[in-house]
Structure 1
Amino acid sequence: MTDSDSNSTSSRFWADFNLFSVAVLWGINAPVMKYGVSEIDPYFFNAIRLTVSGFALWLCLFFENRWNRHKPARENHRHLVWWVVGFAMLSGAVYQITFLAGIYRTTAGNTALIMSSCPMWTALLAVLVTKDRLSRVAWQGLTLTLVGTILVIAQKSEFSASAATLAGNLIVLAAALAWSIAAVVSKPLLKHISAIRLAFFSVVLTLPIHWLLAVLGTHIDWSAAFEPWTMAAILYSGFFSTGVAYAMWNFGVQKLGAPHASIYQNVIPLVAVIGAWWMIGEIPLTLQLWGGALIIAGLVVMRRSRNHPMPPKP
């Protein structure tokens, strides 16, 4: 094995580790956010936590710049400005707003099942838009994780297809598509911009939108926001889940590509089930265990698929 191959293998290992860590952070974030938005206005909560995220990413960017100060200066990429703005609007505004609006208009089960389709949407869009090609083994891995995620979620969630939840379902689907498009768009950008820098721009460029929504909302209660547990939810969700985790996610996309990175999103419901088992003694059902096994199997298959040849170009 050459030094180049060794470095590539190490880099991919750390990308996998980063993405798995992101899935854990996001899995924990689900109940944290649910608590936070039950205590204060959802858009107000979103604005505060994203402000914290901006600070977290600024710190990461500060240390990244210090680390790279003795390296050659980066090439100027002013021609990418509008692509960065477009990515920021998709991931920092459209996704955040539609997800928040959708989850309040449909059930938690509907939301989880619709969002579990993100890896498949991402893979399809990557093939159509950026011409990324996945091997047959990779598609098998994607399918395994999708089936496993549905088994994990469906066992404890009531899926509703009624007219009352239709609008919410469509809004959550829009959120899933926005996230998937942003993941695909980020891959070429990350050839020129660091993962931390792109995450920082995504948060900072969209902060005014979130504060405008908070100001126009029904109620802003600063005293409630400074309650100890509410503040803890804001700090965790902002600093770790939306701040540091966004940079880690972009690093994973940069190293592995959007389809391979997005599959880790299906680890999130598995983390939630394990967390419920550990924290409150909620024993997983048999089908959930099978679902978890399929998710892990899908991840292993996707990882091994990187060593398989791509299908020939048409």
Structure 2
Amino acid sequence: MALNPDKTPTPLLIAPFFLWGTAMVAMKGVIDTTTPLFLATLRLLPAGLLVLIAASILGRKQPQTWKGWAWIGGFALIDGTLFQGFLAEGLQRTGAGLGSVMIDSQPIAVALMARFLFQEVVGPLGWIGLIIGIIGISFLGLPDHWVLELGSRLTTGFSTGHWQLPSFSVPLTAADSFWLMLLERGEWLMLLAALSMAVGTVMIAYVSRHVDPVVATGWHMVIGGIPLLGLSAYTETQQWQSITLPGWFAILYATIFGSAIAYGIFFYLASKGNLTSLSALTFLTPVFALSFSTSLLSENLTGVQWCGVALTLVSIYLVNQRNTISQAFLQILAGPSVMTIIKPFNPELAKAVVAWAASQTPMTPPDNK
């Protein structure tokens, strides 16, 4: 069943992405006074308890089978522990706006998984969007001088016809190896967080077959927060001693609005509709995050990173709006204006174009429930 924006109020559709974007800014504003795993724990455990209390008040049914609990456990590990852990660690090494762009590249992975698991239609525009998204993520995640050198070599190759692969001069010492250097960049930790959330988004379609999606959201936050709490207690020190009063308010906002309310709404909608289209609405999240981080935290991006942001947002827009754009193109192609040009010269071709356009009307993906 495709998610129908006409039946779902627009503010409800937009709410999770606004709350996630602003919560990212709130977390970045306080992360220097605490530790990442402790912050991730506070983002999950209290929020999960709030969701479970709300679910109980609303009369939502608790898990009834071991299979339901097993799905919740897997959901908690992927979308709770791994996602929030990678997010908090990555946020230490990158800005809130840029980190949000990396996190919200997850529709690319969701589109691929939903295509093969649920046969959701990606279409030509969707695949173009995915390719653009990969390029955009590369601009964000790789060092600027790599991207600039590669662009220079490609430009030279096009102009001269002589191609040469760039040499990135990666030191091979143990302390500064290729993979260590990449993982030390917050963008790649954010990308791992995005992949975790993408898997979690797809998993909710299976989880909701056995457990109420709102209840599953609450339990996955509680269970997913327990390993983070243990890791924080074992590996971190001075977790809360330096947090100021405004910092506690920022954590409270990220917990209640950025987790409890945002995740409750998102996974409820994800259990009801088209995963690719819903997830691709996350292009709104970095817009909110970049706006607030620029104005409140004075964060600035490099020229290469801004290009990556633009490409990633274009990618997510194309994936999200692929059916609408395709339908508009087909209507133009088979419309009277084009037919007026084609028909006098080749009536058979005009008839074939109309028939082809009708056969290419985007299909509704199957019900995911």
Q: Under TM normalisation by the shorter chain, which class is it?
A: 0.7 to 0.9
Match of 1:18 among 12, 16, 19: 12
Given that 1:56 and 1:243 are in contact with CA atoms closer than 8 Å, whether structure 2 keeps it comes out as yes
Work out the CA distance in 1 between the residues paired with 2:316 and 2:103: 18
Task: Tell me which moved more, 157-166 or 278-287.
Answer: 278-287
Match status 1:262 vs 2:279: yes
How far apart are 1:218 and its partner, in Å?
Answer: 3.1
Work out the CA distance in 2 between the residues paired with 1:102 and 1:75: 33
Partner of 2:22: 28
Match status 1:98 vs 2:86: yes
Structure number with greater Rg is 2
Given that 2:133 and 2:312 are in contact with CA atoms closer than 8 Å, whether structure 1 keeps it comes out as no
Q: What is the TM-score with the length of structure 2 in the denominator? A: 0.64
Q: Structure 1 vs Structure 2: percent identity of aligned residues?
A: 18
How far apart are 1:297 and its partner, in Å?
Answer: 5.4
Unaligned runs of 5+ in 1: none
Partner of 2:45: 51
Q: What is the TM-score with the length of structure 1 in the denominator? A: 0.74
Q: Deviation digits for residues 14-68 of structure 1, max 9, x if unmatched? A: 4x64342111111111211011211112222222332321232123212321xx6
For 2:362, what is the secondary structure of its paired residue?
Answer: coil
Q: Deviation digits for residues 221-249 of structure 1, max 9, x if unmatched? A: 54434x31111011001111011111111
Taking a change above 3 Å as real, the CA distance of residues 247 and 231 of structure 1, as seen in their structure-2 partners, is same
Work out the CA distance in 1 between the residues paired with 2:208 and 2:128: 25
Work out the CA distance in 2 between the residues paired with 1:222 and 1:277: 27
How far apart are 1:103 and its partner, in Å?
Answer: 4.0
Q: Deviation digits for residues 185-214 of structure 1, max 9, x if unmatched? A: 111222342221111011111222121122
How far apart are 1:272 and its partner, in Å?
Answer: 2.4
Given that 1:102 and 1:172 are in contact with CA atoms closer than 8 Å, whether structure 2 keeps it comes out as yes
Q: Which amino acid aligns with 1:260?
A: S
Taking a change above 3 Å as real, the CA distance of residues 135 and 309 of structure 1, as seen in their structure-2 partners, is farther
How far apart are 1:217 and its partner, in Å?
Answer: 3.0
Match status 1:200 vs 2:254: no
Match status 1:237 vs 2:254: yes
How far apart are 1:296 and its partner, in Å?
Answer: 8.9
Match status 1:214 vs 2:238: no
Unaligned runs of 5+ in 2: 147-169, 171-177, 328-360
Work out the CA distance in 2 between the residues paired with 1:298 and 1:256: 18
For 1:79, what is the secondary structure of its paired residue?
Answer: helix
Structure richer in helix, relative to its length: 1
Match status 1:301 vs 2:321: yes
Q: Which amino acid aligns with 1:202?
A: H
Given that 2:28 and 2:92 are in contact with CA atoms closer than 8 Å, whether structure 1 keeps it comes out as no
Task: Tell me which moved more, 303-312 or 196-205.
Answer: 303-312
Match of 2:288 among 246, 271, 281: 271
Work out the CA distance in 2 between the residues paired with 1:103 and 1:283: 15
Match of 1:89 among 65, 72, 77: 77
Taking a change above 3 Å as real, the CA distance of residues 41 and 292 of structure 1, as seen in their structure-2 partners, is closer
Given that 1:41 and 1:218 are in contact with CA atoms closer than 8 Å, whether structure 2 keeps it comes out as yes
Q: How many residues align?
A: 295
Aligned-pair Cα RMSD in Å: 4.2
Given that 1:106 and 1:166 are in contact with CA atoms closer than 8 Å, whether structure 2 keeps it comes out as no
How far apart are 1:281 and its partner, in Å?
Answer: 9.8
Partner of 2:150: none
